[in-house]
Amino acid sequence: MLPTDVEGSISLRRISRSGFPTHELVASGCTIARLGRDGSLRMFFGRGRRVQLVDGTEWRIKATTVGPYIVPIIKAQTGIVATSGPLGGRRCYGINGEHFGYVLIPLGQVRLVGQVAWLMRRHTDEVATINAAHVMKTNEPVPIAAALMAFTLINHGIPGEAKLMPTQQ
């Protein structure tokens, strides 16, 4: 397990309406990251969402273009920590980093808002489930960046993904 891995019950909770931080990423009762204000416009077209890990490391959840898509990325001063992208199904995403790769898929009926549950997989292994209350339960250690990216994709998706997906005739 790397020092940037977390396991158990992981959740994102609001702690303030203004200032920094406004949210905390909590794993098994311990704060592992503090996050700034959330918002699609801020992330996809602005400075990004500020993330400060408990060791003082600073990240930004921003966006970049990949082909026709605008996709979330997590960026540090040293470079890109995690990237994401759409997969073949609606609201299915890939989450990748230097040492990890996961697939985030919805369970049940696909909706833009109020998804019942999500599953995070590595190949055929179920790594984590995320319930409607946005609580991630892991079966093994998961990188902090992957957990943050999963919550980001569940909340914001990828702009225009439904219109950009190929349709069957």
Number of other CB atoms surrounding residue 40 within 10 Å: 15
The token duo for 4 is: 């940037």
What are the backbone angles phi and psi of residue 65, rounded to the nearest 5°?
A: -100, 140
Q: How far apart are CA 13 and CA 91, in angstroms?
A: 23
**Residue corresponding to tokens 């079966």:** 139
Mean pLDDT of the chain: 83
Residue 166 — very low, low, confident or very high, per pLDDT cuts 50/70/90?
Answer: very low
pLDDT in tens, 16-32: 888 888 889 998 888 99
Hey, which residues does 143 pair with through a beta bridge?
5
- Average pLDDT value for residue range 19-47: 85
Question: Which own/partner pairs from 77-80 qualify as long-range (CB within 8 Å, at least 24 positions apart)?
Answer: none
- Burial of residue 135 (CB within 10 Å: 0-12, 13-18, 19+) is middle
First to last CA, the chain: 47
